[in-house]
Chain A
Amino acid sequence: DTGVSQDPRHKITKRGQNVTFRCDPISEHNRLYWYRQTLGQGPEFLTYFQNEAQLEKSRLLSDRFSAERPKGSFSTLEIQRTEQGDSAMYLCASSIYRTEGEKLFFGSGTQLSVL
Chain B
Amino acid sequence: ETGVTQTPRHLVMGMTNKKSLKCEQHLGHNAMYWYKQSAKKPLELMFVYNFKEQTENNSVPSRFSPECPNSSHLFLHLHTLQPEDSALYLCASSQEGGGGYNEQFFGPGTRLTVL
Chain B associates with chain A: no
| Chain A residues packing against B (C-beta within 8 Å) | none
| Chain B residues packing against A (C-beta within 8 Å) | none
